[in-house]
């Protein structure tokens, strides 16, 4: 389905100066990204700080995005939490609110095995009619999606794909093959967008797209047109920026840059690391790199 192709921004959540959700700023960010021509928005994921928010706050953010986007772009609601009950509640809300798909990280903390993770995910899947995208991010959850669990889960036609945040394009390609015809892969590492697309990813979902949407939209366009050298050049430009970003507390840096691009989304929530004075020169330099790219 074409709805899930291309550049899907893992968007930031926005807070006011007191740290509460600012639906006004969420809408402004939604508009900014839509105006840049992105294909979709992934709400409440890692970049979106979903796991640092209450369920009620997560619902507010999603509703604001949907109100502003009015079906003009694809909206994927990340509903991963530590409990099945809460994730199911968020999933049901997302369906009612009008999201296009659900996604969830595996539950973490207790070191669950495949069987428990599978049950958790399938309870979410069964709770709505929406398509579901598995969020495979072993570096943060400690759980690595196995071929046997994938095989079980794709028995449900609602399980349409995997968002894969590992460095391996081999793993990406193997999951793509395991999923069979029509099964979709969403590239996680932004620094490998082009590599992921070439190896079978249908789209990318990424946090750094939000600070340089123009570059990713151009990269996707060049790739689709078969202009691989041009696409590679854009990925190099992007990677030069990402290499700098990785020297900083990434999520805080993304928010500082989003602010410089015109949308004040407040600070990242604790305990995420904040920026300090010493980071300001690099942030400024990065902003110039982005605007001159």
Choose, by CB under 6 A, the member of 250, 253, 257, 283 that binds ligand NAY. Answer: 250
Q: Rule CB under 6 A: is residue 33 a binding residue for ligand NAY?
A: no
151 is catalytic: no
Q: Rule CB under 6 A: is residue 200 a binding residue for ligand NAY?
A: no
One of 28, 42, 59, 135 is an active-site residue; which one? 135
Residues 39-58 that bind ligand NAY (CB under 6 A): 45-48
The DSSP element (H or E) to which 129 belongs, if any, is: none
Cα 228 from chain centre: 24
Alpha carbons 140 and 80: distance in angstroms, whole number: 13
Q: Rule CB under 6 A: is residue 205 a binding residue for ligand NAY?
A: yes
Q: CB burial class (10 A; 0-12, 13-18, 19+) of residue 288? A: exposed
Q: Rule CB under 6 A: is residue 107 a binding residue for ligand NAY?
A: no
Q: Rule CB under 6 A: is residue 219 a binding residue for ligand NAY?
A: no
Six-digit token string for 87: 């994730």
135 is catalytic: yes
Could you tell me which residues come within 8 angstroms of residue 244 by beta carbon, excluding any fewer than 6 positions away?
282, 285, 286, 289
Nearest 5 degrees, angle CA 254-CA 75-CA 235? 45
Q: Which stretch binds ligand NAY (CB under 6 A): 17-25, 83-91, 116-124, 182-190?
A: 182-190
One of 28, 59, 163, 176 is an active-site residue; which one? 163
Choose, by CB under 6 A, the member of 207, 215, 217, 253 that binds ligand NAY. Answer: 207
Q: Using CB atoms, what's the residue nearest to ligand NAY?
A: 45
Cα 267 from chain centre: 19
> What is the binding site for ligand NAY (CB under 6 A)?
10, 45-48, 165, 188-191, 205-208, 242, 250
């Amino acid at each position: 389905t074409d709805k899930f192709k291309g550049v899907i921004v893992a968007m930031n959540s926005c807070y006011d100066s007191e740290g509460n959700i600012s639906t006004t700023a969420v809408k402004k960010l939604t508009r900014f990204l839509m105006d840049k021509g992105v294909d979709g928005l992934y709400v409440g994921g890692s970049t979106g700080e979903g796991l640092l928010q209450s369920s009620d706050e997560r619902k507010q953010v999603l509703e604001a995005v949907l109100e502003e986007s009015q079906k003009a772009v694809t909206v994927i609601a990340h509903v991963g939490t530590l409990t099945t009950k809460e994730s199911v509640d968020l999933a049901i809300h997302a369906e009612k609110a009008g999201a296009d798909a659900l996604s969830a990280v595996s539950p973490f903390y207790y070191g669950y095995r495949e069987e428990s993770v599978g049950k958790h995910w399938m309870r979410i899947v069964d709770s709505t009619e929406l398509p579901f995208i598995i969020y495979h991010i072993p570096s943060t959850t400690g759980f690595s999606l196995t071929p046997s669990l994938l095989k079980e889960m794709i028995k449900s036609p609602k399980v349409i794909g995997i968002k894969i945040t590992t460095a391996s394009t081999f793993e990406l390609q193997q999951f793509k093959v395991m999923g069979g015809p029509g099964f979709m892969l969403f590239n996680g590492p932004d620094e490998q967008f082009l590599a992921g697309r070439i190896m079978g990813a249908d789209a990318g979902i990424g946090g750094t797209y939000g600070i340089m949407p123009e570059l990713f939209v151009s990269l996707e366009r060049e790739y689709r047109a078969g202009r691989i050298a041009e696409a590679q050049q854009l990925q190099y430009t992007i990677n030069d920026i990402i290499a700098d970003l990785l020297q900083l507390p990434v999520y805080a840096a993304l928010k500082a840059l989003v602010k410089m691009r015109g949308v004040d989304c407040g600070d990242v929530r604790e305990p995420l690391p904040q920026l300090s004075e010493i980071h300001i020169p690099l942030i400024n330099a990065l902003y110039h790199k982005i605007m001159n790219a």
